[in-house]
């Protein structure tokens, strides 16, 4: 459209940083510095880790494989590839002040929870000088911390799993949070913030109990997250069956990875 900046405008794209080329000055809109939008169709992802390379090339079919071998996920785009329907929710922005020589310095801390309401949740915290930067950083950290949630039944094994399979607890700071299975139709019995969080996890019915200073909602939510994470670390009788050991992705695709590395080092 005629309105938008010409693609080859002097000094760089988007018309920002023209002329002087300093970060964010010279012709920017207010707060434009934080805006460094790469034109919304985000530049293609260039993976940096081995896992990233495998995921980008579609060698790994689902996130279950990653969880099965407990491979650490260091790039958030991996999560985007497997779980495109993640919804993020900013739970709180608090100002945090630090005393410096030149007076006080205020920064903003963002607490973000992310989940697809169907078995995956993550939590992220980030502190930054601008609210938008903090939120963006927290979303990335939340994506990196996504964890699978095991759901089960309270009584009869009918329909879809709807509650935690066993009683699980999580502890963070001085807060202990306990999740107890509930019959269908109970809903989530919890304080509003952990309730939102449990809903993001895909848990439909659950009782919660808490001890400690639940006034620090931050610790409370983190304790709930740890409790949810424990659902898959609890060995129940139906998991007693022997499983066949499979090769982990790095070993399976080692030739592919070696080829990539060789290609890169050709320079």
Partner 1 sequence: MNRSHSRPRQPAVASLPAAAPPAGSVKADSQMFKLQTSNMFAVHVGKGSRARKNDDLKEFFETRDDDDGEEETFDAIDDDDLDVSDYESEDDADEATSFPPMPILIRCPLCLAHHEKEEAESAETPARPLITSATELTKHLRDAHKLVFKNLNHMVLLLQRYLEAWAEKLSTVSVADIASKTSEEDGTVVYHIDAASCPMDRAVRELVQKANLEAILLVQESERRREALEPRKCLFCKHTCDNRSSLFRHGYREHNFNIGLPDNLVNVNEFLHILESKLASLQCLYCEKTFTSAAVLRKHMRKKKHFKISSHNRLYDRFYIVNYAEPGKSWEAIDNEKTDSDAEEADRKDDSWNDWDEKADMPAKSLFDLHVSPSVEECLEYMKREYSFDLLKVKTDSALDFYRTVALVNIVRRSTAQNSCFACAGQFDCATDLAAHIKQSGTDHLQPPANDSSVWQDKDNLKPVIENDPLLMAFDDDVDDDEGADEESSRKRLEDFKRTLRKKLDQLNLESPTSEVAPDASAADPSLA
Residue 126 in the binding site for partner 1 (CB under 8 A): yes
Q: Residue 60 or 223: which CB sits closer to partner 1?
A: 223
What's the min distance (Å) between Cβ of 43 and partner 1? 15
CA dist., res. 55 & res. 81, Å (int): 8
Binding mask 6-45 for partner 1 (x = CB under 8 A): x--xx---xxx-xx---xx-xxxxxxxxxx-x-xx-----
Residue 240: CB partners within 8 Å, gap ≥ 6? Answer: none
Nearer to partner 1, 98 or 266 (CB): 98
CB of 149 vs partner 1, minimal distance in Å: 19
Interface region with partner 1, contact rule CB under 8 A, candidates 72-80, 113-121, 171-179, 246-254: 171-179
Give the integer Cα–Cα distance in Å for 124 and 110: 8
Cβ pair 163, 203 in contact under 8 A: yes
Rounded to 5°, angle at Cα 142 from 226 and 87:
105
Task: Please give the residues from 99 up to 118 whose contact with partner 1 meets the rule CB under 8 A.
Answer: 100, 103-109, 111
Per-position x/- string for 210-249, each x denoting binding to partner 1 as judged by CB under 8 A, each - no binding: xx--xxxxxxxxx---------------------------
**Per-residue binder mask for partner 1 (CB under 8 A), 44-83, x = binder:** ----------------------------------------
What is the Cα gyration radius of the chain?
A: 23
- Kind and range of the H or E element at 134? helix 131-144
Q: Which of 150, 94, 141 is nearest to 122 (CA)?
A: 141
- How many residues lie near partner 1 (CB under 8 A)? 87
Nearest to 52 by CA among 266, 260, 263: 260
- Considering only residues 191 through 210, tell me which ones interact with partner 1, judged by CB under 8 A: 191-193, 195, 207-210
């Amino acid at each position: 459209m005629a309105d938008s900046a010409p693609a080859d405008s002097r000094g760089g794209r988007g018309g920002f940083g023209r002329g002087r080329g300093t970060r964010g000055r010279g012709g920017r809109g207010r707060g434009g510095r934080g805006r460094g939008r790469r034109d919304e169709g985000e530049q293609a992802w260039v993976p940096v880790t081995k896992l990233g390379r495998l995921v980008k090339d579609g060698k790994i079919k689902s996130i279950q494989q990653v969880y099965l071998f407990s491979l650490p996920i260091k790039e958030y785009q991996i999560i985007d590839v497997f779980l495109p329907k993640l919804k993020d929710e900013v739970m709180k922005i608090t100002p945090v002040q630090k005393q410096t020589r030149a007076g006080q310095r205020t920064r903003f801390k963002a607490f973000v929870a992310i989940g697809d309401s169907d078995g995956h949740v993550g939590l992220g915290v980030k502190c930054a000088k601008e609210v938008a930067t903090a939120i963006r950083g927290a979303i990335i950290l939340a994506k990196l911390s996504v964890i699978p949630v095991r759901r089960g039944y309270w009584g009869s094994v009918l329909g879809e799993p709807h509650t935690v399979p066993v009683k699980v607890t999580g502890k963070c700071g001085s807060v202990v949070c306990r999740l107890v299975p509930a019959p269908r139709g109970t809903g989530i019995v919890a304080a509003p913030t952990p309730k939102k969080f449990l809903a993001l996890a895909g848990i439909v019915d659950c009782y919660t109990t808490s001890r400690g200073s639940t006034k620090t909602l931050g610790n409370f939510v983190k304790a709930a997250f740890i409790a949810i994470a424990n659902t898959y670390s609890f060995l129940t009788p139906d998991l007693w069956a022997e499983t066949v050991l499979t090769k982990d992705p790095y070993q399976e695709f080692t030739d592919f990875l070696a080829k990539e590395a060789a290609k890169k080092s050709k320079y």
